[in-house]
Amino acid sequence: MTAVEEAATQPVRVNLVFNERAVRVPYGVTLFDAASWNGIAIDSTCGGHGTCKKCRIKIAADPPAPTSLDIRAYTPQEIKDGWRLACRALATRDTEVEVPPLTTRPKAATVGVGRQVILRPAVQKRYLELAEPTLGDQASDLERVLARLDDLEPRAELAVLTTLGRTLREADYKVTAVVVDDVLIAVEPGDTTGRRFGIAFDLGTTTVVATLLDLSTGTPVAVESTLNKQQPFGADVITRISATMMDPGALDKLRNLAAETLAELAQAVCAQGGVQPQEVYEVAVAGNATMTHLVLGIDPEPLGMAPFILSARLYPEVLAADLGLGGVVHQRARAVVFPAFGAYVGGDITAGLLASGMDRDARVRLFVDIGTNCEIVLGNRDWLLATAAPAGPAFEGAAIKCGMRAADGAIEVVTMTPDDLSLKVIGDAEPLGLCGSGLVDAVTGLVRVGLLDSSGRFITEDEARVRAPGLAGRLTRIGKERVFVLHWRGPGHAAEDSIYLSQRDVRELQFAKAAIATGWQILLEEAGLTAADVKQVLLAGSFGSYLSPASAIRIGLVPDVPVPRVVSAGNVAGEGAKMALLSLRERAGGLALLEEVRYVELSDRAGFNDRFVEQLPFPSC
């Protein structure tokens, strides 16, 4: 059997029990990584490199054959009793593992959706006091450095050699080696081990967020966000892809604008955190497939037309300089670019799933990232199904008459009774418009008080005076269209100047929620489950964070589950990017997701249109 054939016969995951805690991990990872990946700490001072011999574990039943390191670390009796080094033992079958209590406390950080991540960043620093060469010691400068990094076994880049000789001599052979993953990227004079930073980017179509992280402690040092400078090319990915199809120069322009956005943010977080650019050795980027293609300068055209093909799911090695960050972080900083499942389930979703721990939880959970394109993932640690539903621009405010982004002045919460309504406005400002969460709340309220019937039509003025006497006066006409006024501008202003919800706006929301609901219903059917089996619904993305769980359930945007089961997960894409910088194991977990998620295409489903139409009405009271 060839290695490839043999690999194909192996299970994707194996079951492990660490001190009675059951976990499922990818086949073939070390038990040290498997434990660490699940937040279970095993003693270590070398981080899994096989040099400290502290990662003691016991496998009493049918232990694996000892490695040469095990034989050096343990007595023959201990070997017989099943003691092994966790960083050398591989997870190749279901195993029970005993982990002794810790003698040292590993550093950990809480990231993602309540995830405890044990710190093991790719960026490692070692302070070295080297012996000066002599006529009797003719080792080269590089050999001298690498010999002291034998537990990391890095390869060196040519660029390091160009300055190595001078650095060693000027620093009296007291230097710090900077290794990222398996590459020696720099040798710095003196002891700089206390300073190592990374930047996690959430590269959104609308908004880009950067978090500067101290990689030694896992602490966020500074956070900044800004609008994506590609905005003038269109609000959504389709218009930006179209721009590259119509203008041969647009791809370069879009790439440069994305690079400028990232660079500006990198400078801002470094300035805010008091960090020098050359102290940032790695960045991570989580973005949808189109944003990732554009920032890497890859033609996005195949993403925009059937059959919607990615240039690559996994990108080859990328440097921060390839993202236009050359001058604003360390010249040879590395970049982690999150891989995508498909053209419309991108790296932002891979990062989001990593942050939410969907692949490690026994409960069936539903992950919904609501935007112009809505990504939906259903599953647990044994299986994951993903799909993308074209929700349209209703939630971004673009298709809504008085719609706006969730910024100062946007109505984000609407509370309604038959007699009155109250509004909550972002920034406590004069209302300027209605953002996605306010839109969902307003429609939910109107359905609940009965001013909208379940088909989504406003009832007549006469009926309104009976059903909701305190609100009936707000049901009016602007031009030919029936509207519900949420905020009057005050005396002297025309009705047209008010903030209102039109009949057409309600229709836009119905289309969006029907597309999303059809998506998760098809996934539930595919899994042979019903809404009652869903133990948690995670609302992701900036829109999901604002959305009221009760309203989302009320209009049928998410399954009808008890309200506490619907949780706002926040900016999970950015959290996933942070995790990739803080832990190599988590990074590997993100890659493993590519093998574990099965993509379900909605558009070629028989009866999709009928299902969509069935979902248009609002659930009746």
**Contact range with ligand FES by CB under 6 A, out of 49-57, 344-352, 485-493, 577-585:** 49-57
**Contact range with ligand FES by CB under 6 A, out of 51-59, 219-227, 323-331, 590-598:** 51-59
DSSP 445: H
Q: What's the chain's Rg over C-alpha atoms?
A: 28
Q: Would you count residue 509 as binding ligand FES (CB under 6 A)?
A: no
Can you state the angle between helices 237-246 and 250-273, rounded to 10 degrees? 130
Residue among 31, 57, 85, 523 that touches ligand FES (CB under 6 A): 85
**Contact range with ligand FES by CB under 6 A, out of 47-55, 323-331, 352-360, 369-377:** 47-55
Min dist CB 24 to ligand FES, Å, is 22
Residue 199 phi, psi dihedral angles, 5° rounding: -125, 125
Min dist CB 83 to ligand FES, Å, is 12
Q: Which is nearer to ligand FES, 43 or 586 (CB)?
A: 43
Question: 89-128: which residues touch ligand FES (CB under 6 A)?
Answer: none
Q: Would you count residue 185 as binding ligand FES (CB under 6 A)?
A: no
Q: Would you count residue 46 as binding ligand FES (CB under 6 A)?
A: yes
Q: Would you count residue 280 as binding ligand FES (CB under 6 A)?
A: no
User: What's the start-to-end Cα distance of the chain, in Å?
Assistant: 62
Q: Would you count residue 229 as binding ligand FES (CB under 6 A)?
A: no
Q: How many residues bind ligand FES (CB under 6 A)?
A: 12
Q: Which is nearer to ligand FES, 55 or 517 (CB)?
A: 55
| 359 C-beta neighbours (distance < 10 Å), count | 24
Residue among 14, 25, 29, 87 that touches ligand FES (CB under 6 A): 87
Q: Which is nearer to ligand FES, 51 or 380 (CB)?
A: 51
Question: 339-358: which residues touch ligand FES (CB under 6 A)?
Answer: none
The per-type count for the chain, helices as H runs and strands as E runs, is: 19, 29
Q: Which is nearer to ligand FES, 46 or 79 (CB)?
A: 46
Min dist CB 42 to ligand FES, Å, is 7
Q: Which is nearer to ligand FES, 23 or 55 (CB)?
A: 55
Residue among 34, 55, 501, 523 that touches ligand FES (CB under 6 A): 55
Q: Which is nearer to ligand FES, 42 or 616 (CB)?
A: 42
Residue among 16, 31, 34, 44 that touches ligand FES (CB under 6 A): 44
Do the beta carbons of residue 269 and residue 321 sit within 8 Å?
no
Min dist CB 73 to ligand FES, Å, is 8
Q: Which is nearer to ligand FES, 37 or 520 (CB)?
A: 37
Q: Which is nearer to ligand FES, 36 or 167 (CB)?
A: 36
Question: 9-38: which residues touch ligand FES (CB under 6 A)?
Answer: 32
Burial tier of 568 (Cβ tally within 10 Å: 0-12, 13-18, 19+) = middle
**Contact range with ligand FES by CB under 6 A, out of 46-54, 57-65, 472-480, 492-500:** 46-54
Order of strands, sheet of 481-487, starting from the edge strand that comes earlier in the sequence = 475-478, 481-487, 499-502
Residue among 28, 41, 52, 326 that touches ligand FES (CB under 6 A): 52
Q: Which is nearer to ligand FES, 53 or 504 (CB)?
A: 53
Residue 437 phi, psi dihedral angles, 5° rounding: -70, -35
Q: Would you count residue 244 as binding ligand FES (CB under 6 A)?
A: no
What is the distance of C-alpha 474 from the center of its chain? 41
Q: Which is nearer to ligand FES, 120 or 482 (CB)?
A: 120
Q: Which is nearer to ligand FES, 2 or 68 (CB)?
A: 68
- DSSP code string of 251-304: HHHHHHHHHHHHHHHHHHHHHHHT--GGGEEEEEEEE-HHHHHHHTT---HHHH
| 15 C-beta neighbours (distance < 10 Å), count | 15
**Contact range with ligand FES by CB under 6 A, out of 53-61, 280-288, 423-431, 540-548:** 53-61
Q: Which is nearer to ligand FES, 53 or 148 (CB)?
A: 53
Q: Would you count residue 50 as binding ligand FES (CB under 6 A)?
A: yes
Residue 238 phi, psi dihedral angles, 5° rounding: -65, -40
For the record, the structure tokens of 154 come out as 């890095």
Q: Would you count residue 53 as binding ligand FES (CB under 6 A)?
A: yes
Residue in the structure block whose two tokens are 């009271």: 621
**Contact range with ligand FES by CB under 6 A, out of 41-49, 210-218, 505-513, 527-535:** 41-49
Q: Would you count residue 48 as binding ligand FES (CB under 6 A)?
A: yes
What is the 3-state secondary structure of 341-358? Answer: CECCECHHHHHHHHHHCH
> Taking Cα atoms as reference points, which of 121, 241, 135, 97 lies closest to residue 193?
121
| 306 C-beta neighbours (distance < 10 Å), count | 9
**Contact range with ligand FES by CB under 6 A, out of 45-53, 403-411, 456-464, 486-494:** 45-53
Q: Which is nearer to ligand FES, 54 or 313 (CB)?
A: 54
Identify each DSSP E strand in 395-506 by its residue range: 410-416, 421-425, 433-434, 475-478, 481-487, 499-502
CA angle 516, 517, 522 (to 5 degrees): 100
Q: Give strand pairing partners of 502.
A: 483
Alpha carbon distances (Å) from 349 to 243, 342, 361: 24, 10, 17
Q: CB within 8 A of 342, min separation 6: which ones?
A: 289, 308, 310, 386, 388, 599
Residues in contact with ligand FES by the rule CB under 6 A: 32, 44, 46, 48, 50-55, 85, 87
